[in-house]
Amino acid sequence: MPLFQVIAAKLRSQIAAGTYRPGTRLPSTRRLSAQLAVSLTTINRALRELESERLIVARERSAWTVEVSRPLARVGRPVPPEAPALVGTTGLIHDHLRTVLDPSLVPLGRAEPSADMLPTTELSFCLREILRREGEKSLRYEHPVGSRLLREELARLSISWGCVLEPDDFIITNGCSEAIHLALQVTTRPGDVVAVESPTFYGILQAVAGLGLRVIEIPSRPVSGLDLAILRRALQRHPIRAVLTVPSYNNPVGGCLSTQGRRELAALLAECDVPLIEDDLYGDLFHDGMRLPCVKSHDVGGRILLCGSISKTLAPGYRIGWLVAGRYRDAAQALKLRLSYSTATPLQHAVGLFLKNGDYDRHLRKVRPQYSRRMAQFTELVTEVFPPGIRIHPSRGGYLIWVEWSEGSSAMECYERALALRVSVAPGEIFTVHGRPTTAFRLHAGFPINPEIIRALKVLGECLR
């Protein structure tokens, strides 16, 4: 192990042990260098490593602050993993979806990006431009794998994901939902066991349920993401056929797997010869620093299937996503053809043009700091109006906040009470396989703060008391 990693490991375990408590400062780099008798360069590399794991953040110059805020009691409970189970929360999810779509509620339970953060003008311009340039071509079937232009632009973009993909690696899909559906279906058969994060996006649980798969839940935590030690044990104990994870700013807890964790995850699955489905939906919405490389960037055998879309960055309603299916490419192409033949032509072309024009980078550079600011404001507000003892986990990317408490009402009870007062939240129950009571919910923190949101948060504060 290189020296900087030895140092990083030492600091990591000290942070875990509480030697450096959350919110406190680490010793200066100069002091660490002297104490540990290694060069400043080595110390700096070790600290950058911990930063990439979101364990510490840089303050000014050589001062570093420990990031993790508190022990994470009730999230990702099943330790060690329980027996494989069928998803039993479909009813709950459908109830929730009905409320999510109700326009009379304050929509804190939604995961759709705030409408004012979408590039309406630029994207509509591109679509108009496609209609003008292409005429009847914009009405005709696209190739089932998708537009060449869009796939070329995604291949270009893939360098920022740490991958070097080619246009032919991509299949354009009806949003990330279809990509995940294809990925699950080409790697499994009904009755198979898959490992997913817990809690995880209910759409993933629904896709898994629809294919008749059984689920092992692997704990996923705010800040650090998927628990790799538990995943390793689960892989030893159960006949897991595929692992599905959202490594960057996952929905709902907002965790982000470290650079090192990503390497380990790829190596672990290669060792077990198990395919990984990587859902990178929020990857481009990191708030600061750099984009962490996709787990896919460590893929050697084509076992990692990468799913993505523009639904959280540009236009949820365009239903444009993609799948990079590695060694499963041919099967995924055949399946795409069966399921929906091809994806809507003019919208694919418009997104291709948007990327080609360089509008995507420009848009991201604009929205990242805005989301970061909104998130900070929202967190501050929540801290103010929620009762003490509530743990708040703002994600470091995207716009979701995970809120946890230790005792009192269940999330479903809070949810019902809030609904009666015209406020929606996403209760923890819908993100699990069993739907047993949780004490956590997810909030959308990406809307501009207005009196309605302030009222809604006060309502939630009351519901939590």
Residues that bind a second copy (CB under 8 A): 90, 94, 97, 101, 112, 115-116, 118, 120, 123-124, 127-128, 131, 135-144, 174-175, 177-178, 181, 190, 203, 206-207, 209-210, 314-319, 334-335, 337-347
Taking the complex as a whole, how short is the minimal distance between the CB of residue 83 and a second copy, in angstroms? 23
Which has the closest alpha carbon to 256: 76, 54, 401, 72? Answer: 54
Instruction: Name the residue nearer to a second copy (CB basis): 143 or 238.
Output: 143
Instruction: Name the residue nearer to a second copy (CB basis): 70 or 189.
Output: 189
Taking the complex as a whole, how short is the minimal distance between the CB of residue 88 and a second copy, in angstroms? 14
Instruction: Name the residue nearer to a second copy (CB basis): 123 or 307.
Output: 123
Taking the complex as a whole, how short is the minimal distance between the CB of residue 203 and a second copy, in angstroms? 7
Instruction: Name the residue nearer to a second copy (CB basis): 133 or 237.
Output: 133
Taking the complex as a whole, how short is the minimal distance between the CB of residue 195 and a second copy, in angstroms? 19
With tokens 């959202």, the residue in question is 246
Taking the complex as a whole, how short is the minimal distance between the CB of residue 327 and a second copy, in angstroms? 18
d(CA 141, CA 139): 7
Taking the complex as a whole, how short is the minimal distance between the CB of residue 142 and a second copy, in angstroms? 6
Contact 179, 207 (CB under 8 A): no
Instruction: Name the residue nearer to a second copy (CB basis): 9 or 100.
Output: 100
Instruction: Name the residue nearer to a second copy (CB basis): 272 or 339.
Output: 339
d(CA 118, CA 139): 25
Contact 464, 453 (CB under 8 A): no
Instruction: Name the residue nearer to a second copy (CB basis): 151 or 262.
Output: 151
Which has the closest alpha carbon to 265: 227, 315, 320, 236? Answer: 227
Task: Tell me how far apart the 2 most distant CA atoms of the chain are, in Å.
Answer: 71
Instruction: Name the residue nearer to a second copy (CB basis): 38 or 86.
Output: 86
Taking the complex as a whole, how short is the minimal distance between the CB of residue 386 and a second copy, in angstroms? 29
In the numeric block, which tokens belong to residue 277?
Answer: 């489905």
Pairing of strands 391-394, 320-324: unpaired
Taking the complex as a whole, how short is the minimal distance between the CB of residue 260 and a second copy, in angstroms? 34
Taking the complex as a whole, how short is the minimal distance between the CB of residue 113 and a second copy, in angstroms? 9
Instruction: Name the residue nearer to a second copy (CB basis): 9 or 211.
Output: 211
Taking the complex as a whole, how short is the minimal distance between the CB of residue 210 and a second copy, in angstroms? 4
Q: Render 170-211 in DSSP notation, one character per residue.
A: EEEEEHHHHHHHHHHHHH--TT-EEEEEES--HHHHHHHHHT
d(CA 210, CA 191): 11
Q: Render 281-324 in DSSP notation, one character per residue.
A: TTGGGB-SS-PPPPGGGG-SSS-EEEEEESTTTT-GGG-EEEEE
d(CA 71, CA 406): 11
The sign of the torsion formed by the CA atoms of 194, 197, 199, 205 equals: negative
Instruction: Name the residue nearer to a second copy (CB basis): 57 or 331.
Output: 331
Contact 292, 255 (CB under 8 A): no
Instruction: Name the residue nearer to a second copy (CB basis): 101 or 376.
Output: 101
Name, in order, each residue with C-beta under 8 angstroms of 452's C-beta and a sequence gap of 6 or more.
106
With tokens 């003892």, the residue in question is 389
Virtual torsion, Cα 12, 21, 252, 293, nearest 10 deg: -30
Name, in order, each residue with C-beta under 8 angstroms of 306's C-beta and a sequence gap of 6 or more.
161, 163, 278, 280, 294, 296, 323, 324
Taking the complex as a whole, how short is the minimal distance between the CB of residue 305 and a second copy, in angstroms? 17
Instruction: Name the residue nearer to a second copy (CB basis): 80 or 190.
Output: 190
Q: Measuring CA to CA, how many Å separate 432 from each of 160, 195, 279?
A: 32, 12, 17
Taking the complex as a whole, how short is the minimal distance between the CB of residue 345 and a second copy, in angstroms? 3
